[in-house]
Structure 1
Amino acid sequence: MSERILALIVTHNRQHMLRDCLELLAAQTRKPNHTLVIDNASTDDTPALLAQHQVEHIRLEKNTGAAGGFHFGLAEACRRDFDWVWLLDDDAHPRPDSLQKLLEGLERARGIGPEPNLLLSRLLWVDGRVHPMGVPWPDLRKPGLMLKARSHGLMPVRFGTYASMLVNLRAAQSHPLPTAAYFLYNDDLEYSGRLLRRGVGYLVRDSLVVHKTRNPYSSAINASDEVFYLEARNRAWLVRSDAFGPLGKTYWLLNSLGVFTVRLLKKGPQGIKPIWKGWLEGFQTLPDSNNQA
């Protein structure tokens, strides 16, 4: 396969996770052509690790969150001579053939429909089960393609996460960058939703990546009020985003109400403040301009 692949990892103060991720990239049966790490102003031993591995990296002056890191990294990728960029969280640890399987899925996808804008790996948690936070929503707008794709080990999707997302750089160059103002939570859903609003993307079922989150469910549920405020605000932005039409907006509205209910069950009445504050701000404001890279 002649595709030129840039692996892009965003990291912040998780040197041990990043080390494992880099070692697994080096062990791929089909290695990426180049690896770029965006260091979100880490204060641990990440700089020493990157120097030891002699991997190209860009250190940001401040922690811009996952949203800012991927915003900056994709802006850099769009200026380079590659065909695809493989987005990875530092705690997303690929199997040895993960990239090879993604590219084999790409060839199958080309045989049944238009050129995909993105491909996703199937995410597992550390115990081997499918990761609940990494289950992409099927693209219900394309029932015919869904039936055709099934026999090819593919599923058309409507959005996905950065844990293992292979993005067509031509598509990335023709769409806005990830919205850096999200900082944490839901920026990947909004970005992939925009790429797929009028494009095609697939889950490649036999490309497996272990996503080593602390628990298999949303970390936002147990986060501090200050952090959960970002979750609530960003969900309002997500509902308002032009990444989704009426069906998608309805889904995210109902999904958000479910997340807020679980949060209130855990936190009690005092949990309402960050929800109300974030939700209200998200409907009263829009994210800042994306021209930050």
Structure 2
Amino acid sequence: MTAVASPVAVRVPSRSARGELRAIKIVWQREIIRFSSDRLRIATSLIQPILFLFVLGSGLSRLTGGSTQGVDLRTFIFPGILAMSVMFTAMFSAASIVWDREFGFLREMLVAPVRRSSIVIGKCLGGATVAGFQGLVVLALAGFVGVPYTLSLLVPVFALQLLLAFAITAFGVMMSARVNQMQSFMALTQMLIMPLFFLSGALFPVSGLPRWLTVLNRIDPLTYAVDPMRRVVFDHLHLPAAAVARLDPGVTWGGWHVPGWLEALVVLVLGVIFLGVAIAEFNQPE
């Protein structure tokens, strides 16, 4: 008679709110650890904002000095460069999902006894934290372009950066849900991110544009992050009324001036929508 081994009971812990919060925290921590341990990534992500701000801004200021009412072009484009640094960092954070899928780690995460929505939320919060930190580093350059270091300026601008970081990370996670190769994701990113940046008014005022460009500017989600940032910056500068009217006219809908709080709400609502779509995508079977 041969002995028959009895099967080992496997107990899967029941889902609970505490377990879901712990899963969100772990995924969030993983993003922070990956970013903090990659010093080369931190350094290289600063190169593009510095090039745009100091090289492009200083070079073009010699051509646009008469049209900026005496305002330094670097001061004008500074809010747009802040948004750009957050946007690119957030998208690259979301790109790690594609890496995880290629190397099989994502499948291990998805079979964990937690809701997939917790993994997506943790990923979005982690990416938003990383992008927000990167934006904070660029924000520290404010004094070099004539923007004052005051709490009433730094706090709302940083809050808008975090809001934008969350929305862009959620957008990137939504895009990466069905992309299997890193090359495809990077090509898709370049096709979408650069137009979003250039159409947002980061490098030009949003009034007096051709009608087709005005329409594209108003449907660009990044517009509603750049404009309130620029409004906060210009509110803390001592500029002639003519310069403010020309360089910071604000976004209008049919002649109605959109308030800053509503622009921030637009970014938040879009981020929540992107997050919901990303959760729905990850809940579908592979």
TM-score for both structures, normalised by structure 2: 0.29
More strand by share: 1
Decide which structure has greater helix share. Answer: 2
